[in-house]
Chains A and B, each alone.
Chain A
Amino acid sequence: MSTTLLRTIQLNQFSLLGTALIRRRSNNVSVRCCGSQTATTHEAKQTSPSRVAPKNHKSNKLDEILRDYEAVIGIETHVQLSTLTKAFCSCSNNYGSVPNTSICPVCMGLPGALPVLNSKVVEFGVRLGLALNCELSLKSKFDRKQYFYPDLPKGYQISQFDIPIASGGYVDLDIPLEFGGGHRRFGITRVHMEEDAGKSLHSDTGDYSQVDLNRAGVPLLEIVSEPDMRSGVEAAEYACEMQRIARYLGVSNGNMQEGSLRCDVNISIRPIGQAEFGTKVEIKNLNAFSAMSRAIDFEISRQALLYDQGKADQIVTETRLWDEGAQKTVTMRKKEGLADYRYFPEPDLPEVILTQEYVDSIRASLPELPEAKRRRYEAMGLGMQDVLFLANDVSVAEYFDAVIGKGAEVKLAANWIMGDIAAYLKNEKLSINDMKLTTQELAELIAAIKDGTISGKIGKEILFELLAKGGTVKGMIKEKDLVQITDPAEIEKMVIKVVSENQKQLEQYRSGKTKLQGYFAGQVMKMSKGKANPGLLNKILLEKLNAKD
Chain B
Amino acid sequence: MLSTLQPPRSLSLLPLRRFQCSKHIVSAASSSSTAPVTSPPQSQILTTRRSLLSGETTAVEIAKSYLSRIRLTEPQLKCFLHVSENVLKDAQEVDQRIAKGEELGPLAGVLIGVKDNICTEGMPSTAASRILEHYRPPFDATAIKKIKELGGIVVGKTNMDEFGMGSTTEASAFQVTANPWDLTRVPGGSSGGSAAAVAARQCMVSLGSDTGGSVRQPASFCGVVGLKPTYGRVSRFGLMAYASSLDVIGCFGSTVADAGMLLHAISGYDRFDSTSSKQDVPEFQSQFLSVDHFESKPLKGVKVGIIRETLEDGVDSGVRSATQEAASHLEALGCMLTEVSLPSFSLGLPAYYVIASSESSSNLSRYDGVRYGNQVMAEELNKLYECSRGEGFGEEVKMRILMGTYALSAGYYDAYYKRAQQVRTLIQKDFKAALEQNDILISPAAPSAAYKIGEKKDDPLAMYAGDIMTVNVNLAGLPAVVLPCGLVEGGPSGLPVGLQMIGAAFDEEKLLKVGHIFEQTLKGSSFIPPLLANVA
Contact A114:B365 (CB < 8 A) given known A108-B371, A342-B405: no
Whether A344 lies near B358 (C-beta < 8 A) is yes
Question: CB of A148 within 8 A of chain B?
Answer: yes
Q: List the B residue with the shortest CB-CB distance to A154.
A: B366
Q: Are A105 and B413 neighbours in the complex by a CB distance under 8 Å?
A: no
* Interface residue A144 (Cβ < 8 Å from any Cβ of B): yes
Query: Does the CB pair B132–A111 fall under 8 Å?
Result: yes
A155–B368 CA distance with the chains assembled, in angstroms: 8
Say if the beta carbon of A259 comes within 8 Å of chain B. Answer: no
In contact, A111 and B410 (Cβ under 8 angstroms): no
Q: Does A475 contact B (CB under 8 A)?
A: no
Closest chain B residue to A89, Cβ basis: B272
Q: Which residues of B contact A343 (CB under 8 A)?
A: 408
Mark B341-384 against chain A: 1 for CB-CB distance below 8 A, else 0.
00000000000000000110110111110111000000001000
With A344-B417, A347-B244 as known contacts, state yes or no: A112 contacts B371, CB within 8 Å: no
> Is the CB–CB distance between A340 and B368 below 8 Å?
no
What is the bound-complex CA distance between A113 and B237, given in angstroms?
A: 6
Q: Kindly state the separation between the CA atoms of A546 and B103 in the bound complex, as whole angstroms.
A: 109
Give chain A nearest CB distance to B377 CB in angstroms. Answer: 12
Q: Chain A contacts of B125 at CB under 8 A? A: 111-112
- Alpha-carbon separation in the docked complex, A110 to B370 (Å): 11
B138, CB-defined interface residue at 8 Å? yes
**A112–B275 touching, CB < 8 Å:** no
B185 an interface residue at 8 Å Cβ cutoff?
Answer: no
B99-121 interface bits toward A, Cβ cutoff 8 Å, 1 = contact, 0 = none: 00000000000000000011100
Which parts of B256-275 form the interface with A (CB within 8 Å)? 271-275
A117 close to B370 (CB less than 8 A): no
Query: Distance (Å) between the CB of A90 and the closest chain B CB?
Result: 10
Residue of A nearest to B373 (CB): A111
B409 partner residues in chain A, CB cutoff 8 A? 340, 342
Which of A148, A150, A342 meets B408, CB within 8 Å?
Answer: A342
Q: B385: which of A111, A148, A350 is its contact (CB, 8 Å)? A: A148
Question: Given known contacts A112-B141, A112-B241, A114-B274, is B410 in contact with A156 (CB within 8 Å)?
Answer: no
Q: How far is the CB of B157 from chain A (nearest CB, A)?
A: 13
Q: Is the CB of B405 within 8 A of A348?
A: no
Alpha-carbon gap, A114 to B245, bound state (A)? 12
**Complex Cα spacing A257 to B241, Å:** 38
Task: Determine if A112 and B240 form an interchain contact, defined as CB atoms under 8 angstroms apart.
Answer: yes
Complex Cα distance, B241 from A155, in Å, reads 13
* Structural contact, A350 and B275, CB atoms closer than 8 A: yes
Judge whether B408 and A344 touch: CB under 8 Å. Answer: yes
Q: Using an 8 Å CB-CB cutoff, how does the interface string of A328-358 with B read, 1 for contact, 0 for none?
A: 0000000000101011100111100000000
Residues on the B chain within 8 Å of A109, using CB: 366, 371
In the complex, the answer to whether A348 meets B275 with C-beta atoms within 8 Å is yes
Contact of B237 with A110 in the complex, beta carbons under 8 Å: no
The answer to the question of B236 belonging to the interface, with a C-beta cut-off of 8 Å to chain A, is yes
Residue B239 lies at the interface, judged by CB distance under 8 Å to chain A: yes
Contact across chains for A338 and B410 when beta carbons are under 8 A apart: yes
Tell me the B129-180 residues at the A interface (CB within 8 Å).
132, 135, 137-139, 141
Whether B274 pairs with A146 at a CB distance below 8 angstroms is: no
Say yes or no: is A211 at the interface (Cβ < 8 Å to chain B): yes
Contact at A344–B245, with CB atoms within 8 Å?
no
Contacting pair B119 A112 (CB below 8 A): yes
**One of A105, A108, A344, A350 near B274 (C-beta < 8 A):** A350
User: Is the Cβ of B362 less than 8 Å from the Cβ of A146?
Assistant: yes
Decide if the interface of chain B is mainly helix, strand, loop or mixed.
Answer: loop
State whether B370 touches A211 (Cβ < 8 A): yes
Residue of A nearest to B384 (CB): A150
| A-chain residues with CB within 8 Å of residue B368 when the two chains form the complex | 148, 150, 155
Q: Which of B138, B244, B410 contacts A340 (CB 8 A)?
A: B410
Evaluate contact between A148 and B365: CB separation under 8 angstroms: yes
Interface: B59 (CB within 8 A): no
Considering only residues 94-127 of chain A, those with a C-beta below 8 Å from chain B are 105, 108-117
Contact A116 to B271, CB < 8 A, known contacts A109-B371, A111-B119, A156-B365 = yes
B139, A111: Cβ atoms closer than 8 Å: no
A147 (CB) vs chain B CBs: closest residue? B365
A156 contacts B362, C-beta separation under 8 Å = yes
The residue among A113, A153, A350 with the most chain B CB atoms within 10 A of its own CB is A113
B364 cross-chain contacts in A, Cβ below 8 A: 155
Bound: A154/B237 CA distance, A: 15
Q: Is the CB of A155 within 8 A of B237?
A: no
Contact B237 A114 (CB under 8 A): yes
Q: B135, B137, B274, B371: which contacts A115 (Cβ < 8 A)?
A: B274
Nearest chain-A residue to B369 (Cβ)? A150
B238 at the interface (CB under 8 A from A): yes
Q: Does B517 contact A (CB under 8 A)?
A: no
Interface footprint category on A:
20 to 34
Task: Give bound CA distance, A109 to B137, whole Å.
Answer: 12
Name B359's contact: one of A112, A115, A211, A347 (CB within 8 Å): A347
Chain B: CB-nearest residue to A339: B410
Chain B positions within 8 Å of A110 at CB level: 137-139, 371-372
- Report Cα–Cα, A115/B371, bound state, in Å: 18
Do B362 and A155 have beta carbons less than 8 Å apart? yes
Give the distance in Å from the alpha carbon of A389 to the alpha carbon of B494 in the complex.
Answer: 88
Instruction: Tell yes or no: B127 within 8 A of A by CB.
Output: yes
Nearest B-chain residue to A88, judged by Cβ:
B274
A contact residues around B358 at 8 Å (CB): 344
With A344-B408, A347-B359 already in contact, the answer to whether A153 and B366 are too (CB < 8 A) is yes
A211–B368 CA distance with the chains assembled, in angstroms: 14
Are A144 and B370 interface neighbours, CB within 8 A?
Answer: no
B258 CB to closest chain A CB (Å) equals 25
Alpha-carbon distance between A342 and B362 when the two chains are bound, in angstroms: 9
Q: Is the CB of A342 within 8 A of B410?
A: yes
Q: Which residues of B contact A342 (CB under 8 A)?
A: 361-362, 405, 408-410, 413
Given contacts A150-B370, A154-B365, A155-B362, contact A111 B135 (CB under 8 A): yes
Please report the C-alpha to C-alpha distance between residue A348 and residue B362 in the assembled complex, in whole angstroms.
12
> How far apart are the CA atoms of A108 and B367 in the complex, in Å?
12
Contacts of A211 in B (CB 8 A): 370-371
Which residues of B from 203 to 254 have beta carbons under 8 Å from A?
236-241, 243-245
**Which chain A residues border B365 with CB–CB below 8 Å?**
146, 148, 154-156
- Which residues in A have their C-beta under 8 angstroms from that of B410? 338, 340, 342
Closest CB of chain B to A29's CB: distance in Å?
Answer: 41
Question: B359 contacts which chain A residues (CB < 8 A)?
Answer: 344, 347
Question: Is the Cβ of A112 less than 8 Å from the Cβ of B408?
Answer: no
Q: Which of chain B's residues have a CB closer than 8 A to the CB of A344?
A: 358-359, 362, 408, 413, 417
- CB of B366 within 8 A of CB of A155, answer yes
Complex contacts, A115 vs chain B, CB 8 Å? 274
CA distance A154 to B125 in the complex (A): 18
Question: In whole angstroms, how far apart are the Cα atoms of A238 and B275 in the complex?
Answer: 39
Query: With A and B bound together, what is the CA distance between A109 and B125 in angstroms?
Result: 15
Whether A116 contacts B366 by the Cβ 8 Å rule is no
Which chain A residues border B239 with CB–CB below 8 Å? 112
Q: Kindly identify, within residues 396 to 428 of chain B, every residue whose CB is under 8 Å from any CB belonging to chain A.
A: 405, 408-410, 413, 417
CA distance A478 to B366 in the complex (A): 71
Minimum distance in angstroms from A255 CB to a CB of chain B: 29
List 28 A–B pairs whose Cβ atoms lie within 8 Å, in order of A's numbering. Answer: A105-B137, A110-B371, A111-B119, A111-B127, A111-B132, A111-B366, A112-B137, A112-B236, A112-B238, A113-B238, A114-B274, A114-B275, A115-B274, A116-B271, A116-B272, A144-B362, A146-B362, A146-B408, A154-B366, A155-B365, A156-B362, A211-B370, A342-B405, A344-B362, A347-B275, A348-B241, A348-B244, A348-B275
- State the A residues within 8 Å of B (CB): 105, 108-117, 144, 146, 148, 150, 153-156, 211, 338, 340, 342-344, 347-350
With A111-B366, A148-B385, A153-B371 given, name 8 new contacts (CB 8 A): A111-B127, A114-B273, A146-B365, A148-B365, A150-B370, A342-B361, A348-B241, A348-B244
B residues near A, CB below 8 A?
117-119, 125, 127, 132, 135, 137-139, 141, 236-241, 243-245, 271-275, 358-359, 361-362, 364-368, 370-372, 381, 385, 405, 408-410, 413, 417
User: 6 tightest CB-CB pairs across the interface, nearest first?
Assistant: A155-B365, A347-B244, A347-B245, A342-B408, A111-B240, A112-B238
